[in-house]
Every structure is written in structure tokens, then in C-alpha cells.
Structure 1
């Protein structure tokens, strides 16, 4: 594939045609000068385990995950393809104010995708990419922490499992996203799910 293709399309190869046609557009490269814009509502976001919130605050300040448990949260996502990476910025309108999550996805030499979250990149998760019933499914295989130039891979017994599914509903005409993070022993420590509409438009100058 051409180097300008998205990491998701390069990881899937010909299997990208198994995705719903709308998702094929979503996960392909965005042309130079354009931006992909999604607007919708998260039905829930965060974790009800309030005792975890103090541990999540440092990650919240870096734009990785947010320490809250809220429902019906409006959000907006802007996607771009920059140097063959899928770069996203998601703004969530929470009760206490707006919060922004940033990430950049690249392809590994093993054909998986690695998502660096935070600004600057703090957490890196390596995912297997699959297609299930027309939906895109990501399952983490490794999670690491970046400290300066050093990346520390968490040992498997301590590593959280991250799962994300993106699907399109022809009845509602909306795209649905569902993410969960599960930690060993503790169980689910973070999640969000919701639906949105998506379009590609010319980027503002």
C-alpha cells in the first residue's frame, strides 16, 4: 500500500473491505488539507470506582483518560493523517468543563497498531486489529509507559487489557464506539461508549 495510507488500512490489508463501507472511510487516510469530524454523545464515560479517581488524575492532566463517572456527555473528535499516522483529538464536554484526549496511531513492523496517548505521548498500547461482523475490533497485546526517551513495557500480569469496537448502525445512521479497560484482579477500571455522526471536511486555515 502507498505510504500515505492509514495504519489501520495497512494493518488490515485486503480485509479492510470486510468493514462496513462507512467504517472503511473512517479508518482510511484523510486527504491532506482535510479533517475528519465526528460529533455525538457518550452514554457513559469514566469509572464508578471513585477510589480510583486520585490515581487517574495525573493521566487526566496529560490527556490520556479522565477521572469521572458521567453519562450523556457531548463530544467532538477531529481526525487527521499526518506522516502516515492517524492523529486524533477528542473534546468531551463534562459537567466540570471540557477535557481533551489526544492520541497518535502508527503501524508496527509486526503488522499491529500502536496507539500513543497523551500530550506529549505518555501511554502506548499495542493492538491486534480484526474485523468482526463489519466492525473494527482492537485488542491490546502490550501496554507501556513512556518516560522521556525510555519506554517501559508493563509485565503481562500487571498490564491492563484494552478493548475497543467501532461499528456502524444502518438503522440509526450513526457510528458506535465502545471501549473498556480491565485491570488484573481489580476488573474494569475505565470505559466509554456512545454514538456519533462523522464527516470529512476541509480543514480550517
Structure 2
């Protein structure tokens, strides 16, 4: 695959995407290549924008989403035009691999809620793995691809942590996550769309919006 760095980069400085792709593909939009690249030491990624929609209009699902919302994974309700911020910080997985810890704060009219996750690259077999929630009790293996300059992430395996063990959900019960990141040259903003579907039910949760993004100095805690 083209797009490999010309100079070798120490493994600890590679982003999870660079690790899996063995470099950032040339076919990825230039602004997304920056987004998927490693965050330099002493910096964090900061974005702000608006989600046009968040949640699900299917009210009967809200109680179930509330159970998952408590560990900061998804939130019940059907919300529109929600301002949000995202902060990406460099981190390490338990195995020492490079990771990106993200916090997305949704400015709901009822108050702020924050979704947290950490995405890393596992080595056996190599691939992206997203640990969801404040306590990392949900794990999704992801397949990454580039389509028309945009990045597509599709979940392949979902597991739940029970005590110290991970329980892999069978495909007939497992939810499926699809996320698309693309850059809109017309408006100069990055666009993101995520859908969570479940067997026999269909779409149970989604969000879609646009935002500006760049690197800033510091750890983003201020």
C-alpha cells in the first residue's frame, strides 16, 4: 500500500491507524491523513461542531440505551442540532501499544454528557480495537478501509468484559457498528456518521454531524 512513511517511525510514535495500515494511505483525504496520524508529544487533538442528530426516534429503545448510557457509551432520546466538542489524546493500551483516548462532550439541552473510548491496534491478529465506556467494558474489533477519500470503520467482533474475562458475542446477537469519517471540501469541515444496528431490530442508535479539527498544545485538560 502506498503512503508508508519515508523514514522509519518508532512503533511507540505510530498512531493505531498507521500501525494497522502500515502508514497512512495516499487515497485518504489529506485532512483525514492528519486526523489519523500520530498526535505529537505535548499536544492533543481538538474539534468542535454540531451533531445534526443523536440517538434514536424509537422511544421503546430509550430504557435499554439508558442502561448503556451510564458508562458513557450511548445516550437515550432523539436529539437534533447538538453542539459538541471532541478531544483526542495519545495513550497506551494495556499491552503498551499506541492508542488514542477520545472524549466527546454532547451539549444537550438537559445538560452535558460525555462519551469516552480508546482505540488501539492489537498485534495478534493485527487490527483496530475500540474500548468503549469509562470502565472499558465493551470492546469492538474494527476493520478500516478507505472509500473515495473517506475512512470507513466496520465492527467485526463485539465482546463484553465480565469480571476479568471477555465474552465474545455470537454474530446472531452481536450489534454492528459502522462509522464514516470524511472531509467536505465545500464547507471546509470534517463530517462523521455512526450507526449502531442490531439483528432483527435494525438501527438502534446513530449520530451524524460536522466539525472543525486541529492540534493544540497541552493535554486538553484546561
The TM-score, its normalising length taken from structure 1, stands at 0.96
Q: Which runs of 5+ in 1 are unaligned?
A: none
1:82-114 residue CA offsets vs partner (Å, 9 max, x unmatched): 121011011000121100001001112222101
Aligned length: 205
Deviation at 1:45, TM superposition (A): 0.5
CA contact (8 A) 1:59 1:65 kept: yes
- Kept in 1: contact 2:17–2:23 (CA 8 A): no
Per residue, is there more helix in 1 or in 2? 1
1:127 maps to 2:142:
yes
TM-score normalized by structure 2? Answer: 0.89
- 1:179 equivalent in structure 2: 194
Instruction: Report the 3-state secondary structure (helix = DSSP H, G, I; strand = E; otherwise coil) of the residue aligned with 1:16.
Output: coil
| Counterpart in the other structure of 2:10 | 2
Structure 1 runs of 4+ with >4 Å offset: none
What's the CA shift for 1:58? 2.0
Aligned pairs for 1:1-205 within 5 A: 1-3=9-11, 4-83=13-92, 84-109=98-123, 110-203=125-218
Gapped regions of structure 2 (runs ≥ 5): 1-8, 93-97
Aligned mates of 1:14, 1:157 — CA distance in 2: 34
> For the aligned residues, what is the CA RMSD?
1.2
Distance in 2 between residues matched to 1:192 and 1:168, nearest whole Å: 16
